[in-house]
A and B are shown apart, each in its own frame.
Chain A
Amino acid sequence: MSTTRLLIERLRQDLISADPLPPPPSLPNIPLAPSRIFPRTPETESLYAREARHHTTALLGIGHVGTRYATEVVLQFQAELAVAHAAVDTLLPDDWAEKNGLLPLRSRVTAHREFLLRPDLGRRLDEPSLRRLEAEADKEIDVQPILADGLSAVACMKSGLLLLESFTAACKRRGLRVGTPVCARFARVWLEDEIGQTTRARVAAILLGERPGLGTGDGLSAYLVYEPRVGKTDGDRNMMSNIHARGLPPELAGDRLAVLAKAMIDQRTSGVTLDLSRLSAELGEAASRAPRQPQPRTRLVEVP
């Protein structure tokens, strides 16, 4: 082995430490970036973005800088994230249920962080609620409707009542006996088991705020279970999600949930063993899949 590599490496170090970088090119004026496709104004949006807007609220056609987002997109995204986080932190006011004519119930959760970390406590009623339910609610019914905060009290307060009303009305139209409407605070899915078991309902239906989405936090989910008993599992349940204005509108969802409840009672089962194939026509009618009017994402950031 010769010493050449060592010699040249030493020379390289000397030359580079004297002049570490090649001289930079002279600076031209940096041109303004072409305007981005988001926000979606008629002047700036692409044909693809315009077509997409008719079919989905996903952020499509937003372009890119290198492989990353344009600054406008970053700000919109961060604002949406902030809105979602704020929705999680909102609590259902203590007197909200009674003000809206619903029987107020509470789970065994006492504080918000405990609610996030202890779903087991959110699945059971506290003692006073259980006594009140036993004393005041109708028993031996077909359907027990339950409105609840779940992970978004904002959603519960915004469109919960509308969904509860349309569901109740649709059940009654199908000849089902609907129980006393209740509203549960700090509630998790499965709380419907204990409530439905207590009121001896054939089907329990809980309508609750779901995990907030970006910029929204107003989505509801519904879970239905036949013969509610403490100890039923996820496989025993049927669920419907994304109940909100841009997803499945509450008016349609209520009707569709009633179809499900009726099917459970007819087939005496729920969950994976419930046969929905014969109902696809009816469910399809209940939840029309025709394209709705486009509802673009709201632009959240304005700098006047």
Chain B
Amino acid sequence: MALLEPIPPRILAVQRLYNADPAILRAYGADPARHTSLGLITVDQDDPTYVALDEATKHAPVDVVFAKSFYAGSGHASGPLSGEILGVLAGADPDVVEAGLKALISCLEHDACFYAADHDRKTAVFPHVISSLGDYLSAQAGLEPGTPMAYLVAPPIEATMGFDAAMKAADVRVVKLFTPPTETNFAAAWLTGSLAECEAAAVAFCETVVRVAAGPRSPGR
């Protein structure tokens, strides 16, 4: 029974540049005045990686200087180590980057992941609740660090039904809505409210995605 079982992200490569060339630093968004070292990671799931990069900023004084999804996702990757995202952490020294990578990897291994929204693992859903935003995602979302946020992703039609259900089930407001297609052809929403409301929104979202996946042409409730 695979329904709602975690689909663990696969970390494809982890590399360090402890004394990066200033041109590289600049090109990837870092500041040679403050940063000497980079930590690079590729993963076959992008959204858990955005969450994990944000998590890293809570554990070490690192900046997420670069994070981009690849077009059409890991099923169409350019190489075995590409996956669907490249994330880059920058820090003042190697130890800082190392601590950031450790938190990032731990989050990917034990926390953030997609789930199977059907018995055959053909549909994936990401109903993640962040109890307290770090520096990275708070800046992206335009919220204060420490705010709770529901980070919801699913394929286009399932997601759209799910967003509406989440909004109606919980006292939350939309921070950003990424209508389809994203780079990986999903749809995503960032919602905020109290932690309990974010949780209620994520559960309602997830349940709706499962329902739509199980009955694509049956009328809604």
Contacts and interface: CB of A to CB of B under 8 A. Distances in A.
Given A11-B206, A15-B3, A16-B3, A1 B110 contact: yes
Interface residues of A, number: 15
Nearest to A1: B111
A26 interface: no
Contacts of B38: none
B202 A21 contact: no
A2 B4 contact: no
A3 B129 contact: yes
A7 B111 contact: no
A9 B111 CA distance: 13
A143 B119 CA distance: 78
B4 A11 contact: yes
Given A12-B3, A16-B1, A2 B206 contact: no
A8 interface: yes
B111 A4 contact: yes
A22 interface: yes
A5 interface: yes
Contact of B128 (A2, A11, A12, A21): A2
B80 to A, nearest CB: 28
B203 A2 contact: no
Contact of A4 (B1, B119, B127, B210): B127
B193 interface: no
Contacts of A11: 4, 203, 206-207
Given A11-B203, A11-B207, A22-B119, A4 B4 contact: no
A4 B3 contact: no
A15 B127 CA distance: 16
Interface residues of B, number: 22
B110 A4 contact: no
Nearest to B210: A15
A298 B207 CA distance: 63
Contacts of B1: 16, 20-21
Contacts of B119: 22
B129 A2 contact: yes
Nearest to B131: A2
B199 interface: yes
Interface in B22-81: 51
A9 B3 CA distance: 10
Nearest to A10: B203
Given A2-B131, A3-B131, A3-B199, A8 B115 contact: yes
Contacts of A2: 51, 111-112, 128-131
B180 interface: no
A8 B127 contact: yes
B145 interface: no
Contacts of B128: 2, 4
A22 B127 CA distance: 22
Nearest to B132: A2
Given A1-B111, A8-B4, A15-B207, 16 more contacts: A2-B51, A2-B111, A2-B112, A2-B131, A4-B111, A4-B112, A4-B128, A4-B129, A5-B111, A7-B202, A8-B127, A9-B4, A11-B4, A11-B206, A12-B5, A22-B119
Interface of A: 1-5, 7-9, 11-12, 15-16, 20-22
Interface of B: 1, 3-6, 51, 110-112, 115, 119, 127-131, 199, 202-203, 206-207, 210
17 contacts: A2-B111, A2-B112, A3-B129, A3-B131, A3-B199, A4-B111, A4-B127, A7-B203, A8-B4, A8-B115, A11-B4, A12-B5, A15-B3, A15-B4, A15-B207, A15-B210, A21-B1
